Structure 1
């Protein structure tokens, strides 16, 4: 629907100020991001209208196999959409903090050990290769607990960093009294 009505979307978005954030909560169907052009077309239109775009992939962790699947889905979306990307682990308020720490900076050894116990020997080489993707640090995750304002601010900080928000803003120079300028110039000579 959005792709067929881009004029309507543009008119709606341009009613807001330049400092507003828009969040598009898109369907979780990975094919929309991984190999169909729908999301790429939407992102291209938004960029042409002057918007800075940041893809956010959210996933809920419950075991290493799903985590590895999330890494692969994130990589696929990053490659297809060609956008600054922030991977957000949502619903962190529902996960034990110790369990969460295992996935924020997981070792390949931990992931492989856990996957090995759940798969047959036939799949071990594939599990090893997939776990090695994690070693390249191409995908990192930012935890978000909707109940914690600091957590949300951290996600926004990562988004600002990804889209270089504020890079084009000139620093504000306050008025300096002429006598201070004269004193400083005299001291420098």
Structure 2
């Protein structure tokens, strides 16, 4: 089995841990193994225990208490400490040499949109540990129904795509919270964004003084050509399976599997 890693990214509260648990649960039902690597020094395990946990190295609570820093400053300190002790991460991952690892990342998006912390970890995983990686970026479906909020989410997703330089899958989470048909119809225009529709929608709901800015953002999304979204309903196995199939494709997971002998050998006499 090839070394495969999935970085689960997105703003706080978007459902990253729920997604990690859903992927693990689905993989178990189809006979595959995976492990959660927790990179959030403030996180607690929920449905599944963390196989590798950054809190075994450093925790947000300890940093806040000992250094008298706020949550954001403490988080940056934790990751700077991790970067200075990457041998710890190597040793922990070394126990799972040929496993499928799901990296649950913190919700502070500045760690991969402004500060080159996660990009450094990504390069280390690729170059030193020979991982095939992809990023899964989550946004809340109820959040992006509003066009201006979609622009904000799309720009943050694009920033992560550019900075991490990884195969990238964008996902709209909590799709099951969209109940009314009008909202579902509005949401469809954001799955594969059309700049004309985005501009028209923005003009209907946003102050006209922002028209030129909105047009520029819509055209940027169109020019970039990769801001598309899959939908996630974490309790729906088909929805989880679809996203996993995309992850497998971009990480080339199947190509790293050892060929299996057929269960039944065909006798020459039977041909």
- TM over 0.5, shorter chain: yes
Determine if the alignment matches structure 1 residue 52 to structure 2 residue 132: yes
Determine if the alignment matches structure 1 residue 112 to structure 2 residue 199: yes
Say how many residue pairs are matched: 180
| 8 Å CA contact retained: 1:55, 1:85 | yes
Separation of aligned partners in 1, 2:114 and 2:91:
28
Matches within 5 A, 1:1-189: 1=78, 2-16=82-96, 18-29=98-109, 31-47=110-126, 48-60=128-140, 61-96=144-179, 97-136=184-223, 137-169=225-257, 171-172=259-260, 174=262, 175-179=265-269
Separation of aligned partners in 1, 2:150 and 2:89:
34
Aligned CA RMSD, in angstroms, stands at 2.2
Separation of aligned partners in 2, 1:99 and 1:5:
46
More strand by share: 2
Q: Cα distance, 1:45 vs. partner?
A: 1.4
Q: Cα distance, 1:24 vs. partner?
A: 2.0
Separation of aligned partners in 2, 1:149 and 1:101:
21
CA displacement, residues 92-130 of structure 1 (integer Å, 9 cap, x when unaligned): 111234343232133323321221133344321221121
Separation of aligned partners in 1, 2:105 and 2:243:
15
Separation of aligned partners in 2, 1:32 and 1:4:
16
CA displacement, residues 33-91 of structure 1 (integer Å, 9 cap, x when unaligned): 12321011111111121222111211112311111121111111111111111111111
Separation of aligned partners in 2, 1:178 and 1:171:
22
| 8 Å CA contact retained: 1:145, 1:152 | yes
Instruction: Give the structure with higher Rg (CA).
Output: 1
| 8 Å CA contact retained: 2:138, 2:171 | yes
| 8 Å CA contact retained: 1:92, 1:100 | no
| 8 Å CA contact retained: 1:143, 1:151 | yes
Separation of aligned partners in 1, 2:199 and 2:193:
10
Q: Cα distance, 1:173 vs. partner?
A: 5.0
Deviating above 6 A after TM superposition, structure 1's stretches of 4 or more consecutive aligned residues are none
Unaligned runs of 5+ in 1: 184-189
Match of 1:187 in 2: none
